[in-house]
Amino acid sequence: MASKFLIFSLLVSFQVLTSTLANETGFVGTLNRKELGLHKKDKVSHFKFFFHERFTGSNATSVTVVPSLPNYTATSFGLVGITDNALTVGQEPNSKVVGRIEGLYAGTSQTEFNLLVVVNFLLTEGKYNGSTIAVLGRNRLSLKVRELPVIGGSGVFKFATGYAETKTLYLDADRSTIEYNIYVSHY
Ligand SMILES: *[C@@H]1O[C@H](CO)[C@@H](O)[C@H](O)[C@H]1NC(C)=O
Ligand SMILES: *[C@@H]1O[C@H](CO)[C@@H](O)[C@H](O)[C@H]1NC(C)=O
Ligand SMILES: *[C@@H]1O[C@H](CO)[C@@H](O)[C@H](O)[C@H]1NC(C)=O
Ligand SMILES: *[C@@H]1O[C@H](CO)[C@@H](O)[C@H](O)[C@H]1NC(C)=O
């Protein structure tokens, strides 16, 4: 009994000590997980979105801001583009809008057509309104399904982790239809 108490008090004082040590700097301290709601079990959600890009015209939604290097037109190495599209629940462009995808893409491979994708999914529906999911990954367009990591989020998605799967459903010189399935664990 006494030894149990000793171990308990050692543990407690060790914890007090580590948090005191951490805070000696004045700018960093340890935090109780409860204060951030992190004591609850995380849940895993599956989001399914579609978006429709327009590459041409005065209302284009995905535009090249830096063209690929002259010797790399086959792989688009050096290309930088910006994208901002409405996210819809259905494949039809006029289906309900539930958010936006905003971000950058860049040609980062000298040997294959591959885009580095850095995008935020901004949700605008219900309890998700204003929350974002950040995705950063390698989008190798020759693959039917590409997997990109979810690297974090804001709002509902603070401390989020997971991955996204993306498919090109339609593509021509003027427009595309893209599907995203995002599997994300969050609190
Ligand atoms: C460090 O400790 C002081 C005093 O308890 C507290 O006011 C301050 O917010 C702490 N700083 C951090 C970053 O936790
Ligand atoms: C803008 O986009 C729509 C499709 O949503 C298209 O029908 C229209 O022609 C476009 N307008 C211009 C000026 O590009
Ligand atoms: C690009 O291609 C041209 C013609 O084939 C060649 O002369 C030039 O050295 C190449 N530049 C680079 C950076 O590879
Ligand atoms: C989402 O929040 C904004 C304010 O940040 C509000 O204007 C808008 O109506 C909200 N949308 C929905 C669908 O609740």
Q: Kindly report the protein residue whose alpha carbon is nearest to atom 12 of ligand 1.
A: 29
With beta carbons less than 8 A apart as the criterion, state whether 160 and 133 touch: yes
Kindly state the percentage of the chain with pLDDT values over 70.
Answer: 88
Q: What is the pLDDT of residue 18?
A: 53
Domains of the chain (ranges plus CATH)? 39-186 (2.40.480.10)
Q: Does residue 18's CB lie within 6 angstroms of at least one atom of ligand 1? A: no
pTM: 0.83
Task: Judge whether residue 162 has pLDDT over 60.
Answer: yes
pLDDT in tens, 54-108: 999 999 999 999 999 999 989 999 999 999 999 999 999 999 999 999 999 999 9
- 138: nearest Cα among 157, 158, 160, 119: 119
Q: How confident is the model at residue 175 (pLDDT cuts 50, 70, 90)?
A: very high
* Averaged pLDDT for residues 31-47: 89
Query: Rounded distance, CA 136 to CA 50, Å?
Result: 18
- How would you label 96-109 residue by residue, b for 16+ Cβ within 10 Å and e otherwise? ebbbbbebebbbbe
Q: CB atoms < 10 A from the CB of 128, how many? A: 19
- How would you label 82-91 residue by residue, b for 16+ Cβ within 10 Å and e otherwise? ebbbbbbeee
Q: How confident is the model at residue 38 (pLDDT cuts 50, 70, 90)?
A: confident
How much is the CA Rg of the chain, to the nearest whole Å? 22
Q: How confident is the model at residue 40 (pLDDT cuts 50, 70, 90)?
A: confident
Complete DSSP assignment for 147-172: EEEEEEEEGGGTT-EEEEEEEEEEE-
Query: Rounded distance, CA 129 to CA 136, Å?
Result: 21
* Averaged pLDDT for residues 39-48: 94
- Substitution site in 53, 54, 88 for ligand 2 pocket (most atoms within 8 Å of beta carbon): 54
